[in-house]
Structure 1
Amino acid sequence: MGNSLQEQLLKAGLVSEHRLKETRTDKRKTVKQPGGRAAAADDPARRAAAEAQAEKARKDRELNLRQQEEAQQRARENDIRQLIHAHRVVREGGDLAYNFTDGTTLKRLYVNRDQHARLVDGRLALVRQDTFYELVPTQIALRLRERDASLVLVHNQSTAKPAADDPYAEFQVPDDLMW
């Protein structure tokens, strides 16, 4: 009973000893090769594992890209905060109300007379920093507008000159007009 089929065929004389050795050698080579019977049996599992690994790599790349974009966004926001904080004009002792709009909301900021005059003629600009409002020089407002235009709330630029046929050209609006 312990005889294998190969040994039984050899005893019966149906195969030669040389052919039996070749068959054993071929079988051993087939099992050891990556494309052999052992690999063929695992082929769907290996394919599924390779697909799962490729999917994981794709998700990891997307996650890394998203994290890099978020880090860049935070760095831009910090640069803007530092720029505003480094160049803001101190508003201590402001007794004059300056009214402006933030979106659809009417806001009021107290400034002194010099700051009010500089805001009106465009030498200062009013910007939003998080939930606060700050006064900054015009050059800084232009740099902020390049990075995020929604931060600059008030930047008066007097580039328009009155037209020659304007009937109200001789009547100037006073700078101290309050609304």
Structure 2
Amino acid sequence: MAKLNPLQQQLLKAGLVKKSKAAEVAREQHLAHHAKSAQTQTDAQREAERARAGKAEHDRALEAQRKAQARSRELHAQARQIIADKHVAQAGEQDYRFAAGDAIRSVRVDDALRKQLASGALVIAQSGERYALLPRNAASKVRDRAPELIVLDHGQAASDTAASSTSEDDAYYAQFTVPDDLMW
């Protein structure tokens, strides 16, 4: 039986309320009080748990973003190191001009380097503000790590166009010869 409060006890003594009715009201009040406090705690606990889960998800997303940025910086640094280690010395009296972004750039080459660039054996890669000549195998390593550093690759362009062109177009354009070593 639920405990009666002093007012309920006085009403019971005065005979204004039956004992069973007072006990029932006390039981209902007791249940309502405990159910309400338990429900508030559960709501508060659920809200706190939801906030913790949201914060944990936010922290995981930030950590994944930081790891991706760190990995990107690491790959970019590896590519720059490959360019620094494997570059071919630019020597020559001729300028080899190429498009880099919106501008026309040039590197100094001799006839042998010009032929290697035209055939795709050498690739031009960006090294800071300068441009470096790389052998094909080093360029493929750079392309795996940071493809935006490869500025000019005639060997790659040839394989892309060969895959996209049809044999009918190839037969038609075969009659026109375009020299690879144009001077501009």
Q: TM-score, normalization: structure 1?
A: 0.64
Structure having the larger proportion of residues in helix: 2
Q: After superposition, where does 1:81-96 map in structure 2 within 5 Å?
A: 81-91=80-90, 94-96=92-94
Q: Structure 1 residue 68: deviation in Å?
A: 1.3
Q: Structure 1 residue 104: deviation in Å?
A: 3.2
- Residue 107 of structure 2: which of 105, 109, 122 is its match? 109
Q: After superposition, where does 1:4-83 map in structure 2 within 5 Å?
A: 39-83=38-82
- Distance, in Å, in 2 between the alignment partners of 1:139 and 1:99 is 23
Partner of 1:137: 135
Preserved contact between residue 98 and residue 104 of structure 2 (Cα < 8 Å): yes
- Distance, in Å, in 1 between the alignment partners of 2:122 and 2:40 is 77
Percent identical: 30
Q: Which amino acid aligns with 1:95?
A: E
Partner of 2:122: 124
- Distance, in Å, in 2 between the alignment partners of 1:134 and 1:165 is 33
Q: TM-score, normalization: structure 2?
A: 0.63
Q: Which blocks of at least 5 consecutive residues in structure 1 are unaligned?
A: 16-22, 28-34
Q: Which amino acid aligns with 1:65?
A: A
Preserved contact between residue 76 and residue 145 of structure 2 (Cα < 8 Å): no
Moved over 6 A (4+): 5-9, 162-165
Q: SS at the partner of 2:55? A: helix
Q: Which blocks of at least 5 consecutive residues in structure 2 are unaligned?
A: 20-26, 163-169
Preserved contact between residue 117 and residue 154 of structure 2 (Cα < 8 Å): yes
Deviation readout 1:46-98 (Å, 9 max, x if unpaired): 2221221111111111111111111111111111111111101122x543211
- Distance, in Å, in 2 between the alignment partners of 1:63 and 1:56 is 10
Deviation readout 1:80-128 (Å, 9 max, x if unpaired): 111111101122x543211111133211122344433432333221112
Change (3 A) 1:48 1:166: closer
How many residues align? The count is 162
Higher relative contact order (CA 8 A, sep 6+): 2
Partner of 1:98: 96
- Distance, in Å, in 2 between the alignment partners of 1:137 and 1:165 is 30
C-alpha RMSD of matched pairs (Å): 4.0
